[in-house]
Each structure stands twice: as structure tokens, then as C-alpha cells.
Amino acid sequence: MGLFDNPWHILIVLLVLVLLFGSAKLPKAAKSMGEAMRIFKKEAQKLQDDDPQQTTQAQVTPQQQAAPPQQIPTAQPTAQEQMTALKQQMDALQQQVASQEAPGSGSAVPPTQATNQSS
């Protein structure tokens, strides 16, 4: 025999709730619970809607990997071009440092330390 099989049980539970929370707070509590349930349902529906999109993306990805990528001309440099440009900049900076540290310059102290000692 369950708790709510008899109508008297339901009335007793309702009476206890009214006595505990008061008649003014019960409608507010029911309203906030209803809003929370609506928000929960909307979010659950969004999750279900997102799943089919992820499945189709997962199905497209293996097909794209099987086919060779097509070269599309873009205005942005590729990663290889960026690496080459950075390497050239590094070489230029190393040459500048090497020319500043050339033997016979008369100073064994690097320029950053020389400025710190002079102040």
C-alpha cells in the first residue's frame, strides 16, 4: 500500500505542507519549481538537438580525411610560410647579436649588463 493510495493521505500531506510553509509561500514555491522545470526541459531539448549535429560532423570528418585536401588560395599565410618567415627573422637577429659581440670590441660585458652597471 503506497503513501498516496488513500485520498486522506494526500490531504494530510497538504495540511502539513501548509502548516510548515504557510499559505503565502506555497504558490511562490510552486511557481519557481515550475519555472525551474521549464528551464531544465529547454536545456535537455537543446542537448538532444546538438547530438545529431555532432553525429553528422563525425560522419563527414572521415570522408574528408580520405580525400586529399584541395589547395584554396587564401590571403593569410600558411603555417609553413609563417615558419619560414620566423626562421628568417631568427637568423637576422642572431647575425645582429653576433655582430655586436664581435671579438675586439673591447668589452666583455654584454650590453644589458653594461647599462645596469653604469647607473
42-52 pLDDT, tens digit per residue, is 999 998 888 76
User: CB of 101 within 8 A of CB of 94?
Assistant: no
User: CB of 117 within 8 A of CB of 109?
Assistant: yes
pLDDT confidence of residue 72: 57
Burial of 17 (0-12, 13-18, 19+ CB in 10 A): middle
Any domain includes 108: no
pLDDT single digits (tens) 71-109 = 555 566 688 888 888 899 989 988 888 888 766 555 555
Tell me: pLDDT of 117 over 80: no
pLDDT confidence of residue 79: 82
Any domain includes 109: no
**49 is in which domain, residue-wise?**
1-60
pLDDT single digits (tens) 50-63 = 876 665 555 555 55
Q: How many domains does the chain have?
A: 1
Any domain includes 43: yes
Any domain includes 17: yes
